[in-house]
């Protein structure tokens, strides 16, 4: 380029636009969970017939200084829309493209209307374009910028902050403006290996963004180590030379050189956005919260995806979850998936059933079990469902209660718990104040007590869900908690026993034994309700129940 960049731009910019010497180069962005390309950033590259490639750092500041940056930005949007049109007509997978706008665009014109006119001219859907605004553009209170951003977001565009963390007012900008995604400045990764404090800062940014409901993308990714770390902390998207360098469309993946499954269709963005909203750094990652102040934790956490063929795969496992699986006898994560998908035993079958039930109910579901001698509780929540592909994704948190036992003091209690859990399908606790709490639950029945707590409501819902109609009145009489202690005393026992034909979630009907055990703890009267299958008995006729009861005395 000439020594005077300003003169060069004044003399040749119009001709460069006319001859399309300014090219759109596309830099890919990948989804951290899947490794698939989920979008591109459109970058301007001026290739002059005489001077060759001209650095954007040379001509973009000059265009801003001359008040002509708007012309470049609208030219780029027009080229992107035309390119998307060609991709669509070729029958290739079309994903999102991010286009950059300058703060000066918002001051010079109604940039929203200008972009909308181009989009509609080329018949593009809003969901295929993202608007990026550099962090430095927000260094002052700018009403035109705020109003323009609002128009874009209300119309359905995603508005991203580029180079987050590069300026001094990044946190103020999060307070004053609303964004859909933060592109974390590449400087945080530049000295990643030498400066471990960068990891703390990156984790804090991702954690903060998740709490604010904002998605994240890390720029400047150059190594597999960085990829692994960013994935572990829940950063959703990655961009950098390790992922892919900017390239023109005819050299890029959008030319169709790679398989369609390597590229994420733009319609899938909302699905993966819901998955990405899970804060893997939170103490309570499955809890629905509008806001909160969570801190880093070592909870055993995983993200499982169920495909349309009924097979599960892990999208994410944190180290605590992976370590526990290995301690439980699985040499590789894939081995646990083989058990879950192809050869489920009792625990895996119950776990699978819990996930499927969660997908139907859309509510938090849970189960208790013994894994490798550990008393465990597993909870899951449906994170997202793709109605087009039939895929569902679940967040799973595993709690190992045996971690909290003091081995010398609680060894007997631990053994008793393991024995009890191996016998009973569910255990519920009834208090004298009229409350009910589920203590232990296999996955074959639901955790009714999560949203219903009074005894009468719990019993009614349970009976209607699981007890055959002709036995419900007997069931209600059996669970008359005011008379349990007297009935046990008259029978000269410490409990009362009942037998009822019960359904599980799959609709299977079997005869089950119900035990009510009254006891006193800290001066309070409590009743423990335990339910178990009767070994060797499936369906039993009413006249057989007396014989069964006598055999169990």
* Predicted confidence (pLDDT) per residue in 274-302, tens digit: 999 888 887 667 766 554 444 445 679 99
Question: If pLDDT is split at 50, 70 and 90, which confidence band does 222 have?
Answer: very high
Q: What is the mean pLDDT of residues 192-215?
A: 88
pLDDT in tens, 48-105: 998 899 988 889 999 989 999 999 999 999 999 999 998 888 888 888 999 999 989 9
405 pLDDT above the threshold of 90: no
Q: How far apart are CA 492 and CA 22, in angstroms?
A: 93
550 pLDDT above the threshold of 50: no
Question: If pLDDT is split at 50, 70 and 90, which confidence band does 143 have?
Answer: confident
pLDDT reported for residue 202 = 92
Residue with tokens 């307070």: 175
155 pLDDT above the threshold of 60: yes
SS3 state at 256? coil
Residue 134 β-bridge partners: 162
537 pLDDT above the threshold of 50: no
453 pLDDT above the threshold of 70: no
Q: What is the mean pLDDT of residues 298-316?
A: 91
pLDDT reported for residue 433 = 75
Q: How far apart are CA 37 and CA 401, in angstroms?
A: 40
Decide: 155 and 116 in contact? Cβ < 8 Å: yes
* E-state strands within 172-324: 181-184, 215-218, 237-238, 247-248, 300-306, 312-317
Q: CB 84: neighbour CB atoms within 10 A?
A: 24
410 pLDDT above the threshold of 60: no
Q: What is the mean pLDDT of residues 134-162?
A: 85
Share of the chain above pLDDT 90, in %: 43
- State the DSSP string of 186-255: THHHHTTTT-THHHHHHHHHHHHHHHTT-EEEE----SHHHHHHHHHTT--EE-STTT---EEGGGSGGG
User: Which two structure tokens, joined as six digits, stand for 100?
Assistant: 């950059």
pLDDT in tens, 329-349: 888 888 889 888 988 777 888
Apex 119 CA angle, 162 and 32, nearest 5: 40
Decide: 426 and 458 in contact? Cβ < 8 Å: no
Residue 442's contacts (CB-CB under 8 Å, 6 or more residues apart) are 350, 367, 368, 369, 425, 426
pLDDT reported for residue 451 = 62
536 pLDDT above the threshold of 70: no
Residue with tokens 């000295």: 191
pLDDT in tens, 463-517: 998 999 999 999 999 999 999 999 988 888 888 999 999 988 778 888 889 999 8
H/E stretch holding 513 reads: strand 509-521
Decide: 384 and 392 in contact? Cβ < 8 Å: yes
Decide: 56 and 43 in contact? Cβ < 8 Å: yes
pLDDT reported for residue 548 = 39
Share of the chain above pLDDT 70, in %: 84
549 pLDDT above the threshold of 50: no
pLDDT reported for residue 538 = 43
How does the average pLDDT of the chain come out, rounded? 84
H/E stretch holding 408 reads: helix 407-423
224 pLDDT above the threshold of 80: yes
pLDDT reported for residue 534 = 72
Instruction: Give the closest residue to 271 by CA, choosing from 306, 220, 295.
Output: 306
Helical axes 56-65 vs 69-89, angle rounded to 10° = 120
Q: How far apart are CA 39 and CA 462, in angstroms?
A: 48
pLDDT reported for residue 552 = 40
Residue 271's Cα: distance from chain center in Å? 9
358 pLDDT above the threshold of 80: yes
pLDDT reported for residue 15 = 94
Q: What is the mean pLDDT of residues 112-133?
A: 95
Q: How far apart are CA 271 and CA 389, in angstroms?
A: 10
Q: How far apart are CA 474 and CA 89, in angstroms?
A: 68
Q: For the sheet containing 436-441, what is the strand order?
A: 436-441, 426-431, 524-533, 509-521, 496-503
Q: CB 547: neighbour CB atoms within 10 A?
A: 11
Q: How far apart are CA 31 and CA 216, in angstroms?
A: 11
Backbone angles phi, psi at 344, to 5 degrees: -70, 125
539 pLDDT above the threshold of 60: no
pLDDT reported for residue 167 = 64
């Amino acid at each position: 380029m000439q020594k005077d960049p300003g003169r060069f731009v004044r003399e040749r910019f119009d001709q460069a636009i006319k001859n399309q010497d300014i090219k759109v180069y596309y830099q890919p962005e990948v989804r951290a969970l899947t490794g698939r390309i989920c979008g591109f950033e459109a970058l301007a590259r001026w290739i002059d017939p005489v001077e060759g490639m001209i650095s954007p750092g040379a001509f973009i500041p000059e265009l801003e200084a001359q008040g002509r940056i708007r012309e470049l930005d609208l030219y780029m949007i027009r080229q992107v829309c035309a390119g998307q049109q060609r991709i669509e007509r070729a029958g290739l997978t079309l994903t999102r493209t991010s286009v950059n706008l300058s703060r000066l665009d918002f001051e010079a014109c109604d940039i929203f209307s200008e972009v909308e006119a181009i989009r509609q001219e080329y018949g593009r859907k809003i969901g295929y374009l993202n608007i990026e605004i550099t962090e430095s553009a927000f260094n002052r209170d700018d009403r035109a910028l705020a109003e323009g951003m609002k128009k874009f977001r209300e119309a359905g565009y995603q508005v991203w902050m580029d180079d987050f963390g590069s300026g001094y007012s990044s946190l103020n900008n999060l307070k004053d403006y609303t964004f859909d995604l933060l592109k974390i400045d590449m400087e945080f990764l530049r000295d990643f290996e030498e400066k471990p404090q960068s990891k703390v800062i990156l984790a804090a940014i991702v954690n903060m963004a998740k709490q604010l409901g904002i998605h994240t993308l890390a720029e400047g990714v150059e190594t597999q180590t960085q990829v692994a770390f960013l994935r572990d902390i829940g950063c959703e998207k990655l961009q950098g030379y390790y992922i892919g360098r900017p390239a023109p469309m005819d050299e890029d993946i959008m030319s169709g050189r790679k398989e369609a499954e390597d590229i994420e269709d733009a319609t899938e963005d909302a699905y993966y956005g819901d998955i990405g909203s899970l804060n893997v750094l939170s103490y309570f990652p499955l809890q629905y919260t509008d806001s909160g102040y969570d801190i880093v934790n070592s909870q055993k956490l995983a993200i499982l995806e169920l495909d349309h063929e009924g097979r599960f795969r892990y999208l994410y496992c944190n180290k605590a979850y992976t370590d526990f699986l290995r301690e439980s006898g699985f040499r590789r994560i894939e081995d646990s998936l083989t058990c879950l998908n192809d050869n489920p035993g009792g625990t895996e079958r119950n776990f699978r059933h819990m996930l499927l039930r969660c997908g139907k109910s859309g509510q938090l579901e849970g189960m208790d079990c013994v894994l490798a001698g550990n008393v465990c509780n597993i909870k899951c929540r449906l994170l997202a469902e793709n109605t087009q592909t039939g895929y569902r994704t679940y967040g799973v948190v595993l709690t190992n209660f045996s971690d909290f036992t003091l081995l010398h003091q609680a060894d007997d209690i631990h053994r008793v718990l393991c024995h009890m859990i191996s016998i009973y399908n569910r255990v519920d606790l009834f208090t004298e104040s009229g409350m009910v709490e589920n203590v232990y639950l296999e996955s074959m029945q639901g955790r009714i007590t999560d949203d219903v707590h009074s005894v009468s409501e719990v019993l009614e819902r349970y009976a209607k869900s699981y007890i055959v109609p002709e036995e419900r009145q007997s069931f209600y009489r059996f669970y008359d908690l005011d008379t349990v202690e007297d009935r046990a005393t008259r029978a000269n026992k410490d409990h009362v026993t009942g037998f009822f034909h019960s359904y599980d979630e799959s609709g299977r009907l079997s005869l089950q034994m119900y035990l009510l055990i009254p006891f006193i703890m800290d001066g309070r009267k409590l009743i423990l309700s335990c339910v178990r299958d009767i070994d060797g008995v499936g369906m039993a006729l009413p006249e057989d129940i007396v014989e069964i009861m006598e055999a169990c005395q």
